[in-house]
Every structure is written in C-alpha cells, then in structure tokens.
Amino acid sequence: MSPRHLALAVGLAAVWGYNFVVMQIGLRHFPPLEYAGIRFALAAFPALLFAGRPGVAWRWVLGVAATLGVGQFGLLLVGMRAGMPAGLTSLVLQVQALFTVVFAVTLLGERLTARRVLGLVVAFAGLAIVAVDFGVSGPFGAFLLCVAAAAAWGLGNVIQRHAAPPDSLRFMIWVSAFSAPPLLLLSLLLEGPLVLTSPPEGWLSLVYVAFISTLGGFGVWGWLLRRYDASIVAPYTLLVPVFGMSSAVLITGEPLSWARVLAAVLIVSGVLYAGTQPRRPAASAPSSGSSDEAAERDPADRGK
C-alpha cells in the first residue's frame, strides 16, 4: 500500500474501534435488532433518493446486505446484548480477517504468499495474548454469536470484492436499504414493538454508527477492496481492537495491562508486515506523469 492508503486503512480501524463503545452505549436504550435496523435505515434514507443505481447486479447488493448487514451486525449486536463486553467484542470480531483470507483464497483464487502468512501469524499471536488476558467472561453463546458475525463479515468482504462496485458509497447506501427491512421485521417478531423513545445519548450513538461508521467506514473499506486483494486489506482490521481497547480505557476506565500492550505491538507489526510489499528497485524512471500519479498507480496494479 502507498503511505496515503495505509494511513486511510489505519484511520478506518480507529473509527471502527471506537464504534464498539458507541454501540454499547446505544444498546442501553434500544433492542439489538432494532438498533441495527434503525442504523441502516438512517444510512439509507434520504441518501438513497440521490444515490442512483448501485452499478452492480442486484444479487451482489442482496448478498452483501445478507452477510454484512443482517448477518454481521445482527449477530454482533445480539451477542453484545447477551453479555459480550465492547473490548472483548472488538477482539473476537477480528477473526473476520482469517475468514476473509480463507474465503478469498478458496472462492476467488487469490494468492496466499509466505509474507502474508507470517504477518497474520504474528498478528494472531497478539490476538491470542489479548484473549488470554481478557478471558471469555461473557456467556459462551454470546461468544459464538460474535464468531459467527466475524464469519459473515469475511464472506461479505469476498462478495463485495467480487462485485467490485464502481462507487463504494453508493453501493453501501443500497446495502443499507436492503438490510434495514429484514432487521426491523426480525425485531418486531423477536423483540416486540419498536422502541422509539430514547434519550439523546441513544440517538447520537445511532448517528455515529449510521453516518460515520457505516456510510463513511464501509465506503472507504469498499474503495480499498477495489484497489487491493481482500487478503491484503483485511489484516488492517486487526488494528480495530487496539483502538477499541484504547477507547475503552479512556471512556470507561478499563485497565490496560502489559500483556495487552505486548499484544498491540504484535498486532500492529503483523498487520503492517502482511499488508506491505518488499521494496524493489525500479527498472526505469517513468517517462511521463507526476511521481504522485505513479505512486497512485503502482500499488493498485500490484494489488489486482
């Protein structure tokens, strides 16, 4: 990745890391499926009126809505409501990187290099340290729901990569529009009448997850997936628990042990190693175009 794209991937991890604390706040005021449904409804409307068509076949929109929208967020929020704390959830969900690589290799035929394998091993060693330090304190069923959410996210990554939508933001708006109705219907069936009376804290939480985390975050995520292999982009989400734990320390006062610091170092090192290419000497100087344009082209060419 180029330095600018790397910074974009890390910034996205920060947005999604803080997102877990924000969602935990929102779940104090809304049932989980309703919260997810309202999230996507806000992300879709009124933006859908100005977005235009998604630019890909409708089956890809439905596939990503079923996996990322209903699958990932439905299972994730139900798991959090069932007892998974925000910090531990931000950790467990990152096994989606492993699911993404497995799906990308088996379904898309992407190449799994030794460099990526080593980087993932180092990063997952850090995740293992965090898992031991945290301990699975919540109900085991809630833990399994979060693992299932990670698998749904990994499959959704591969579907979106294969669809290659020309406009990531427009695509995510349509995904949100198709995700909201089934989530709200499930909420009515399983959770009862919708709860629309919430203090400002609950609605501000929804504004963050709808516009910053969902539209902004998945718009950037899809843009990166169009330029690079899914198995290159996905490991950067391993930084999410680093930011998730940091925000938990700052906002909720959660203690930060030396084991978690060591794990964070391993995660960052592994992610950066897996997601970068070894430097090679250029065969010749570019004959035309600025150096910035060349820097923009080369990483994309290597990733495709």
Per-residue pLDDT, averaged over 6-16, amounts to 91
Global pTM value: 0.78
Token pair of 270 as six digits: 């592994």
Do residues 110 and 254 touch, judged by C-beta distance below 8 A? no
Residue position matching structure tokens 């699911």: 99
**Residue 297 pLDDT level (bands cut at 50, 70, 90):** very low
Distance (Å, whole) CA 252 – CA 11: 22
What is the pLDDT at residue 278?
67
Instruction: Judge whether 234 and 96 are in contact, CB under 8 Å.
Output: yes
Q: What is the pLDDT of residues 226-241, one digit of tens each?
A: 788 866 887 787 788 8
**pLDDT score recorded for residue 118:** 87
Q: Which tokens go with 266?
A: 């391993």
Max alpha carbon distance in the chain (Å)? 66
Percentage with pLDDT > 90 across the chain: 33
The answer to whether residue 304 scores a pLDDT higher than 60 is no
Does the pLDDT value for residue 282 go beyond 70?
no
- pLDDT over threshold 70, residue 291: no
Q: Which two tokens stand for residue 259?
A: 């084991």
Exposure b/e, 187-216, CB count within 10 A at least 16 = b = beeebeeeeeebeeebbebbebbbeebbbb
Confidence of residue 180 (pLDDT cuts 50, 70, 90): very high
SS3 letters across the chain:
CCHHHHHHHHHHHHHHHHHHHHHHHHCCCCCHHHHHHHHHHHHHCCCHHHHCCCCCCHHHHHHHHHHHHHHHHHHHHHHHHCCCCHHHHHHHHHHHHHHHHHHHHHHHCCCCCHHHHHHHHHHHHHHHHHHHHHCCCCCHHHHHHHHHHHHHHHHHHHHHHHHCCCCHHHHHHHHHHHHHHHHHHHHHHHHCCCCCCCCHHHHHHHHHHHHHHHHHHHHHHHHHHHHCCHHHHHHHHHHHHHHHHHHHHHHHCCCCCHHHHHHHHHHHHHHHHHHCCCCCCCCCCCCCCCHHHHHHHHHHHHHC
Q: How far apart are CA 246 and CA 251, in angstroms?
A: 9
- Asked whether the beta carbons of 168 and 219 are under 8 A apart, the reply is yes
Q: Which two tokens stand for residue 260?
A: 């978690």
Q: Residue 299: name the closest of 240, 248, 224 by CA.
A: 224
Report yes or no: 31 and 183 within 8 Å, Cβ to Cβ: no
- Read off the pLDDT of residues 242-262 as tens digits, 9 standing for 90 and up: 888 888 888 877 667 787 788
Alpha-carbon distance of 184 to 181, in angstroms, equals 5
